[in-house]
A and B are shown apart, each in its own frame.
Chain A
Amino acid sequence: MKKNDASILIIDDDADVRKSVALLLASNGFSDVETANGALDGVKKAAAKKHDLILLDMIMPRVSGWGVLEKISAKKIKTRVLVLSAVGLPEVVREEVGKRYPGVGFLPKTNAAAELADTIREALKAPAKEI
């Protein structure tokens, strides 16, 4: 297991998801993982500290993942964003995200167990930038 000290912020309204992703990342050698409960908490934490990568859920109460993307873009935060969503129709969301935010990656939540660590590592190779 390769150690990785990249700082990662998990934004999700579901506590079990936040915990599970954190556990998965920890088991894959990621040591700097922070979680945010929902969009507002997430934007606050993203602004407060620079993160190498943000894992962003789309379906959240009050403010959705789209709202978070808007805010990060507006605040010109330089980071990498990977949308981790369990939406019913992932390909539709993937296309929409690619269209509106070309630098933002997409991974269906159900693929996370197998692909999340590799996808993050791959994403980290690209430079952090405004989305």
Chain B
Amino acid sequence: MGGVKDASWCAMELRLKTFLITGIMLVLIILGVYGIIYSTMYQNAMALEQRNMRNLIQDANARLADEATQLGRTLGDWASWDDTYRFIEDKNQAYIISNLEDASLAAAHIHIIAFYDKEGRTVLVKMVKIGSAPAGPVPPELAILPPDCPLLMHGNGSVEGIMMLGGRIAVVVSRPILTSKGEGPERGTLVMARYISKEDIASLAGARSITTTMWQMGGMVPTDYQSAADSMASSGNSTLIRPISDAAVAGYFIARDLHGMPVAIFRVESPRDDYIEFEKNSLYMLAMLFVAAVVFEALNFVLLDVFAISRLKRLGDQAELVGKPNGNVETILPDGGGDEITHLAVGINKMLARLKSAQHALLRSQVSYGRRLRNDVKRKTRQLADANARLRSMERSKNQFLFNIGHELKSPLAVIEMNLAAGKNMGKGQRRESERMIKRNMERLKQKIEEIIQLSRFEYGKDVQKEELDFASLAKDVAREYQDFASVKGAKIHLEGAGRRLMVQGDRRLLQYALGNLFSNAVKYCDRKDIYVEVARKGRAAEFSIANHGEGIRPENRRKLFRKFFKEDPNAPGTGVGLFMTREIARGHSGDVWYEPNKPRGAIFRFSIPANGGGLDEKK
């Protein structure tokens, strides 16, 4: 699956790839920037909202305090009035009738006015009748003031605050009753209260868009007020600000009575102008960012296409032309400018140059290879022809050998036959010579037959049967056989070293044949001069050497001497296998035979095979 995806990605056009990559990058950057800006703006908007709300709460508190101050001012007039001073003393009805009139008190927004003597005993509690509704009962909180009532703790000043009066919240102020000159002694305490109505609460708000509501503690309180109260109680804060919807934010604060007990929870509600502005701004910013991204991407696409991709495409098209079957490797691709694409084009050009030179080298090597191949074929053909010629020559030689061996066998046979036929009419002397001739030719016959047998043995694998034997003694025996032949040829054989034992591991019959062959040749071509034979130990070898003073071997024939069927004179008698077999026998004994020219003329043949260890010892 990954592979398929990779393949489709690889197959995509470069400009699309670039478009996708930069697009993804841009989206990520925009989201990141937007996130950072959004969170900063959000925090600012929220902080602003909080600050504004705190100000609103302060305003509401201030207005509440103003109510008390206003009431306190009215109370001050009353408390430092000599009539009031006297009234505490004499409780005169006229004061009540002339001063505590419902309509004027209601106009001053006074709902309760209460008089207490200096011991705190109730003198009078006047419930002001407002409108057509009857005056309510005296709230128990004011009916009798307990000695520790905060209202009595005014000293020479005043006490202002909020209290629950008969289950309703009221602004309450108290002052000591003094003379109009503000002198004592203090006759008692004057208390005024004004109930706080829903309208009063609503008027706490400074602007129309801001609403203030209040709920008394301990009674039925809506859940959001209750949770805000709980939250403030647990955190110890006196205010709490939190949004109640996307459009509005609320600030809660708790009002405490003169005892310090919470009596009411206020909620100032304000539209979330800052937040809504922030939301709008952030959306606008996001839109701007996206517009910028689109413009950037389009510009990027166009510029990339103009400055890179179209050039790359041209380069690719040209390279493709070069790559076609009949494409010209010498085509030089455009490489103007100096950027990476130029670098690429230069690289391709260099590669083309290398390719061209490699092509030429290949051509050259093909030509030279072809020449070498032709030469090889020629040489092999020549070798084959040579081998064929050699084979034909071998065949001819073989035929010649058969022809010659016939002669070699028939000649001594004819001699024997003729001597036997002539025998009837011979004299005594002639007869003896004839008998020697018969014997000699029977030997020749035997030797030729032996030669054929040995040759066939060599043809079918060398069969050397070794035994320990005295090489010197063997040479002596063979020499004796050829003594007679030599004398016919007008020569004598001189043997040296045959008196010492020279032990070798050898095949007696083969060694006899080999040495016999060397004797035969030496005698045949002795030119009526004596033959010198030596048997001696040379280092680790037993060496037999035979030298004559005949014509010797012509230099051009010396290398061919030991070849099978080779005859220096093709017309001469003989089979041409003697020296070949002599060498085979020497090698079959891990030795060798070689030719050396004799001085002043003639031939020396040396036949050498390994001698047994222990050296020479004198024969007994």
Contacts and interface: CB of A to CB of B under 8 A. Distances in A.
Given A86-B407, A113-B417, A26 B573 contact: no
Interface stretch (B69-77, B257-265, B433-441): B433-441
A110 B425 contact: no
A87 B569 CA distance: 16
B422 A26 contact: yes
Contacts of B425: 1, 26-28
B424 interface: yes
A89 interface: yes
B414 A112 contact: yes
Contacts of A113: 414, 417-418, 420-421
A13 interface: yes
B144 interface: no
A20 B418 contact: yes
Contact of B421 (A14, A88, A114): A114
B11 interface: no
Contact of A27 (B404, B414, B417, B422): B422
B206 interface: no
A3 to B, nearest CB: 12
Given A20-B419, A113-B420, A62 B572 contact: yes
Contact of A17 (B411, B423, B569, B572): B411
Contacts of A60: 571-573
Contacts of B406: 86-89
Contact of A59 (B407, B413, B417, B421): B407
Given A61-B571, A64-B571, A20 B414 contact: yes
A16 B403 contact: no
A42 interface: no
Given A27-B426, A88-B404, A16 B441 contact: yes
B488 interface: yes
Given A14-B573, A16-B437, A61-B571, A23 B418 contact: yes
B402 interface: yes
A15 B571 contact: no
B421 to A, nearest CB: 4
B419 A23 contact: yes
B411 A19 contact: no
A27 B572 contact: no
Interface in B390-406: 402-406
A19 B437 contact: yes
A63 interface: yes
A27 B573 contact: no
B410 interface: yes
Contacts of A46: none
B415 interface: yes
Contacts of A64: 571
Interface string A1-24: 100000000000111110111011
B70 to A, nearest CB: 171
A97 B341 CA distance: 97
Contacts of B433: 19
Interface in B283-321: none
Interface in A111-131: 112-114, 116
Nearest to A89: B403
A7 B344 CA distance: 112
A89 B420 CA distance: 24
Contacts of A61: 569, 571-573
Interface in B555-591: 569, 571-573
B410 A23 contact: no
A105 B175 CA distance: 194
B55 interface: no
A26 B488 CA distance: 21
B437 to A, nearest CB: 5
A109 B414 contact: yes
Contacts of A89: 403, 406
A88 B572 contact: no
Contacts of A26: 422, 425
Nearest to B430: A23
Contacts of B571: 59-64
A59 B411 CA distance: 10
B410 A108 contact: yes
Contacts of B415: 14, 16-17, 20
Nearest to B400: A88
A19 B429 CA distance: 13
Contacts of A28: 422, 425
Contacts of B403: 87-89
Residue among A23, A87, A116 with max Cβ neighbours from chain B (10 Å): A23
Contacts of A17: 411, 414-415
A27 B417 CA distance: 13
Contacts of B417: 110, 112-114
B405 A20 contact: no
Contacts of B402: 88
Nearest to A13: B573
Contacts of B413: 86, 110
Given A13-B573, A16-B415, A23-B418, A86 B410 contact: yes
A87 to B, nearest CB: 5
Residue among B404, B405, B425 with max Cβ neighbours from chain A (10 Å): B425
Contact of A23 (B411, B414, B434): B434
Contacts of B414: 17, 20, 86, 109-110, 112-113
Contacts of A24: 418-419, 421-422
A23 B406 CA distance: 24
A61 to B, nearest CB: 4
A64 B417 CA distance: 24
Contacts of B440: 16
A8 to B, nearest CB: 14
Contact of B426 (A15, A16, A23, A108): A23
B583 to A, nearest CB: 23
B551 to A, nearest CB: 10
A9 B405 CA distance: 26
A110 B421 CA distance: 12
Q: Which 3 A-B pairs have the closest CB atoms?
A: A88-B406, A27-B425, A113-B417
27 contacts: A16-B440, A17-B411, A17-B414, A17-B415, A19-B433, A20-B419, A20-B422, A20-B437, A23-B422, A23-B434, A27-B421, A27-B426, A28-B422, A59-B407, A59-B573, A61-B573, A85-B407, A86-B410, A88-B406, A88-B410, A89-B403, A89-B406, A108-B410, A110-B410, A112-B417, A113-B420, A114-B417
Given A87-B403, A109-B414, 5 more contacts: A23-B418, A60-B573, A86-B407, A108-B410, A113-B421
Interface of A: 1, 13-17, 19-21, 23-24, 26-28, 59-64, 85-89, 108-110, 112-114, 116
Interface of B: 402-407, 410-415, 417-426, 430, 433-434, 437, 440-441, 488, 569, 571-573
